[in-house]
């Protein structure tokens, strides 16, 4: 493992993750998404400002940047060991949550983490991403669904490594650690509201306040 390559993989992932898709799309519609509702730039808040179609678009783009970060890291640094791709994916989540282009503001990282997981371990992603969507639709707490993708990534990658499921090297667990930590830290206010019973459910409809 080359330290310089590690640093470059971190920078690569962070900069890709920092691309503020939600902010840019909302700006095209004349809205500063950082001033709407939660102020986050992810698909949930964009749905509140512009409607669910734009929210889905932003979510898809955020998934894509997580996958791109992992794929590019492997193309540049290889996957032996896979720590470069794992770090690029994890720091893409950090970049999404604290974008250098938005004064270190951003979203909560669920979609970007999902995309990175798909790029890193397709089987794990094929399990977690549908589960993430199911939780989002059924429970209708975006924060709970987002936490599920972070913590779920850590759990499933650890299980896959221990049981030797597919090609799951231990380095991939680093992604689960970074992604879950970044998501939980970003969602601290939501966790407090969940505990107080005041967390807002998503409605998939445009907010009248927007």
Q: What is the pLDDT of residues 107-135, one digit of tens each?
A: 999 999 999 999 999 999 999 999 998 99
Residue 170 resides in a domain: yes
Query: How many separate domains does the chain show?
Result: 1
**What number of other Cβ atoms are within 10 A of residue 35's Cβ?**
10
Is position 204 within any domain? no
Residue 111 lies in a domain: yes
pTM: 0.93
Q: Tell me what pLDDT residue 207 has.
A: 54
Judge whether 171 lies within some domain.
yes
Q: Is residue 201 part of a domain?
A: no
Work out the pLDDT band at 56, boundaries 50, 70, 90.
very high
Check residue 32 and give its pLDDT.
95
Q: Indicate whether 208 pLDDT > 70.
A: no
In a domain, 208, yes or no: no
| Residue 44: CB atoms within 10 Å | 27
**Residue among 50, 48, 77, 44 at smallest CA distance from 62:** 44
State the Cα–Cα distance between residues 172 and 68, nearest whole angstrom.
Answer: 16
Q: What pLDDT is stored for residue 76 in this prediction?
A: 96
Pairwise pLDDT comparison (145 vs 210), residue with the higher score:
145
The answer to the question of residue 153 being in a domain is yes
Q: Specify if 175 maps to a domain.
A: yes
Range of the domain at 14: 3-196
């Amino acid at each position: 493992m080359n330290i310089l390559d590690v640093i470059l993989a971190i920078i690569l992932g962070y900069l890709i993750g920092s691309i503020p898709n939600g902010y840019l799309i909302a700006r095209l519609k004349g809205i500063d998404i950082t001033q709407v509702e939660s102020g986050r730039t992810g698909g949930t808040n964009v749905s509140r400002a512009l409607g669910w179609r734009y929210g889905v678009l932003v979510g898809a783009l955020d998934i894509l940047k997580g996958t791109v970060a992992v794929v590019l890291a492997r193309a540049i640094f290889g996957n032996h060991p896979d720590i470069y791709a794992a770090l690029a994916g994890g720091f893409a989540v950090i970049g999404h949550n604290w974008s250098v282009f938005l004064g270190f503001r951003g979203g909560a990282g669920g979609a970007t983490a999902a995309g990175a997981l798909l790029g890193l371990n397709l089987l794990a992603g094929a399990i977690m991403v549908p589960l993430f969507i199911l939780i989002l639709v059924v429970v209708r707490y975006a924060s709970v669904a987002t936490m599920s993708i972070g913590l779920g990534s850590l759990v499933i990658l650890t299980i896959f490594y221990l049981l030797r499921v597919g090609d799951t090297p231990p380095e991939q667990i680093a992604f689960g650690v970074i992604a879950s930590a970044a998501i939980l830290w970003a969602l601290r206010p939501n966790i407090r509201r969940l505990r107080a019973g005041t967390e807002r459910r998503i409605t998939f409809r445009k907010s009248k306040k927007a």
